[in-house]
Structure 1
């Protein structure tokens, strides 16, 4: 009955992990994972190597079976449903295109498997090629395409059969930076247009922040924190999330007492993002809101120019703080050994679990 329900055509995508554990011998790759993904959401699972993020995706795809717990799609268990019957589009980091088939034939294959007649297949392929800007490349082999073009083919093949769920496994990992940024925009555009419930796995923080409606940060097989990109970045719950998602100054063991608008309980640390810290010459006028700020003095140890940003490393007593500021025309540039004053709003200090 469960198999029959999945074969009746597209169904609203509602994904649930209920206490899912995956063991490999004595090692738990995923431990007691509970997560719900509403229809149409773009969810990214983010984490370092060994965090369990890829295992979670493979469990949902049906490539591995849970040791404990259940996975539901639209309220129906799929734990016993094989991967090829789960009606999901999948894009791999390696693209996994059929090297002996043309672009058109790569797109046609999933439609043939579903029994679509030839004239309908041709019309759908034409529309999809136009949508991913590959109209003139349908007769080429994958080896004749650039990395970005292959990625577009892989996305088109995953979407062409109109599955309710799209799974992305490190989809942009094989591309250079410029292509990654272009493809991020393309993936966001495709998600807006098709509205697929999308689960993306990546270790790239910028990719996760750019693409996602919600991010799940995993650590050692468990969810460390799940929230919107803005909330995770601005209000991380733990030191691990603060360090992993972006860059963080952990304000502990410093030669100054940290001032914050909230009390710092035992077992926690104070944190501030580098872009929240102002940098100026010691003799520069104080800001108008100086009474709301904490100020310290230090010495520049290094400066990195990164196009629109300058990144400073500033020694404050025995500690090294990172400061990131936008490059402004006529703005003062500090060099190593320059004395500087750093300040930040006390309200920008976050207290996170150690």
Structure 2
């Protein structure tokens, strides 16, 4: 492929990948804009990793085509697709120093020694590893190794960056820190980025758009906030965060919109307010539905407190941010639950 520093547009055209009688990806069509950060999200077996491997050129499609910058790459081997790739395992060369790991992709592209040194110095500074260029990968922490892997993928300024579960091997605090790093690097370099993950928080934090996959097909594509707030199907609602699904409630649901045929009602746990039965009603009470219930369980998790509440035979999950002076309810306490009628959603 012709070398270009311009972020590339990617198109999947009716892409299918069969493994014997099993379709890992089924008739997938998708366009990824130049400079976009798109995350493919889904459970195990949904086809998300196969989709990334097809784009990387590690596996060949059974049907369909992939276009990059307007050109078909179906017959182009992976090493000629000019893409930076970061794997969950980092895949650093254990026998090379950090600096030599970063120089390697430049050597393969024929970059001269003085230019290689300049680029390595610049990228090490950018990922906050300027003093660690002489260390071996085994002498680095997990977060530092992840920064090296990102730097190696970015140093040749590829038009496309592929991330395969890039933060899966890190602990929670380090994962959140690296999410910020990846977001800043994407903003700075503007590279078209495709990320595969099963981590919903990671997808919501990093992405311009999220593709939710199920059984080899796209279930829904949207911006993170829209996808979370307005899921199209029960699967998306339950997979992306928690959701209270009202299958056949024994109380009348109130909504500002008519329920479409073949749908069920849904509300997110943080949209529900919990209070003592005798507590004063809020000023917008006329816009809210109010039900009484009994606490089954209270779960404390640092910044959040979660309740499981029985309401007329249904079990509702309520989630609230912990604040000083807040009333805390325990098992068997009677509570009043309220939510805005406009917060009720309907999913297929």
**Which TM bucket (shorter chain)?**
over 0.9
SS of aligned partner of 1:243: helix
**Is 1:150 equivalent to 2:142 in the alignment?**
no
Task: Please name the residue that 2:157 is paired with.
Answer: 162
Task: Please name the residue that 2:261 is paired with.
Answer: 266
**Is 1:307 equivalent to 2:306 in the alignment?**
no
Task: Please name the residue that 1:278 is paired with.
Answer: 273
Matched ranges for 1:94-113 at <5 A = 94-113=89-108
1:202 corresponds to which of 197, 204, 213: 197
Deviation of 1:11 after TM superposition, in Å, equals 4.3
**Is 1:132 equivalent to 2:124 in the alignment?**
no
Provide the rounded CA distance (Å) in 1 between the counterparts of 2:4 and 2:249: 60
2:188 corresponds to which of 193, 198, 209: 193
- Deviation readout 1:302-339 (Å, 9 max, x if unpaired): 11111111101101121110000111111111111100
Provide the rounded CA distance (Å) in 2 between the counterparts of 1:272 and 1:43: 26
Task: Please name the residue that 2:77 is paired with.
Answer: 82
- Deviation readout 1:139-175 (Å, 9 max, x if unpaired): 1111111000000000000000010000000000000
> Relative to structure 2, which stretch is displaced further, 59-68 or 11-20?
11-20
SS of aligned partner of 2:46: coil
Deviation of 1:280 after TM superposition, in Å, equals 0.5
Task: Please name the residue that 2:46 is paired with.
Answer: 51
- How many residues in Structure 1 have an aligned counterpart in Structure 2? 348
Unmatched 5+ stretches in structure 1: 1-5
Structure 1 contact 312–324 (Cα < 8 Å) conserved: yes
Deviation of 1:25 after TM superposition, in Å, equals 0.3
Structure 1 contact 254–319 (Cα < 8 Å) conserved: yes
Structure 1 contact 11–74 (Cα < 8 Å) conserved: no
Matched ranges for 1:1-354 at <5 A = 6-353=1-348
Deviation of 1:259 after TM superposition, in Å, equals 1.3
Deviation of 1:7 after TM superposition, in Å, equals 3.1
Q: How well do the aligned residues superpose, as a CA RMSD in angstroms?
A: 0.8
Structure 2 contact 7–191 (Cα < 8 Å) conserved: no
> Relative to structure 2, which stretch is displaced further, 301-310 or 39-48?
301-310
Task: Please name the residue that 1:3 is paired with.
Answer: none
SS of aligned partner of 1:153: helix
Unmatched 5+ stretches in structure 2: none
Provide the rounded CA distance (Å) in 1 between the counterparts of 2:137 and 2:284: 59
- Deviation readout 1:18-73 (Å, 9 max, x if unpaired): 00000000000000000000100000000000000000000000000110001000
Deviation of 1:127 after TM superposition, in Å, equals 0.5
Provide the rounded CA distance (Å) in 2 between the counterparts of 1:339 and 1:9: 64
Structure 1 contact 271–352 (Cα < 8 Å) conserved: yes
Provide the rounded CA distance (Å) in 2 between the counterparts of 1:36 and 1:265: 29
Structure 1 contact 272–349 (Cα < 8 Å) conserved: yes
Calculate the TM-score normalised by the size of structure 2: 0.99
